[in-house]
Amino acid sequence: MHLVRDARFAYVCVDVLRGHLARRTANPSSCGANPFLILRTLACILGRALCFAPQRGATEVQAATTQGNNVKKVLSLITLAAVFFACPAFAADPVIGTWKLNVAKSNFSPGAELKAARRVYTEANGLYTLDQKLTGADGKDKSLRSQYRDGQEVKQPGGGISDATLANKLDANTWDFVLKKDGKVVGHVHRVVSADGKTLTVHNTGMLLTGVTGDQTLVFDKQ
């Protein structure tokens, strides 16, 4: 009787966890589950499964099989809970990936026109890396690499328009950047990923990637 009741309770917990998992994937901050209550429930179910006493008259083989199946169900439930609590870690920044410049939708400053551009964003342990390949109006290619970390000033490789970048994450889709050279601010960047994750808009003021100063907006499509 206890086994049937615990099994039904386990299935209810699975449904609850699945619902919270779906909401947390869509919006990590919207999940109102109490993690301590859920873990306590799992511990109780697991304890009952491991301490299951076979009914009188049951053979040792039947008892072992029943207990083994019960433990498997509990372990599956615990695995689901682990995914539930870990899911925010798997929610990658929407900018991660490859982006191609949409020349027609971009607004260039005089002297900063581009025929093509590609951006590749990667991230490891909170440090973001941006690799860019630019094709200028003269047809010449230029490759650039920069790195940034939220709330910190990060030094940049030599040869770029700046030697340090201060990044500030405003929300999941929006970042602001301050570009510095020899300790002085030389430019600003406001970057937004659309809600559907398909469009990247980069507004640059001050020193631009081509080495001239101006005010321009670049629009990229997700690849």
At 10-41, the pLDDT tens digits run: 444 445 445 544 444 444 434 444 444 454 55
Q: What percent of the chain has pLDDT over 70?
A: 59
Q: Is 206 exposed, middle or buried (0-12, 13-18, 19+ CB in 10 A)?
A: middle
Q: Given a cut of 90, is residue 98 above it in pLDDT? A: yes
Identify the domain containing residue 111 by its residue range. 97-222
Q: Of 23, 56, 90, which residue is a domain's last?
A: 90
Q: Of 90, 116, 140, which residue is a domain's last?
A: 90
**Tokens 């199946």 identify what position?**
69
Whether residue 155 sits in one domain with residue 107: yes
**Mean of pLDDT over the chain:** 77
Whether residue 200 sits in one domain with residue 109: yes
Whether residue 138 sits in one domain with residue 86: no
| pTM for this entry | 0.63
Q: What are the residues whose beta carbons fall under 8 Å from the beta carbon of 213, sequence distance 6 or more?
A: 109, 187, 206, 207
Q: Given a cut of 70, is residue 211 above it in pLDDT? A: yes
* Cβ–Cβ < 8 Å for 102, 221: yes
Domain holding 161: CATH number? 2.40.128.20
> pLDDT tens across 113-132, in order?
999 999 999 999 999 999 99
User: What distance in Å separates the CA atoms of residue 62 and residue 51, rounded to the nearest whole number?
Assistant: 15
Whether residue 160 sits in one domain with residue 80: no
User: What distance in Å separates the CA atoms of residue 60 and residue 88, rounded to the nearest whole number?
Assistant: 44
Whether residue 135 sits in one domain with residue 81: no
| Residues shown for the chain | 223
Whether residue 128 sits in one domain with residue 52: no
Whether residue 206 sits in one domain with residue 107: yes
Q: Of 34, 55, 90, which residue is a domain's last?
A: 90
pLDDT value for 121: 98
User: What tokens were used for 35?
Assistant: 């993690």
Q: Compute CA 48 distance to the chain's CA centroid, rounded to the nearest angstrom.
A: 37
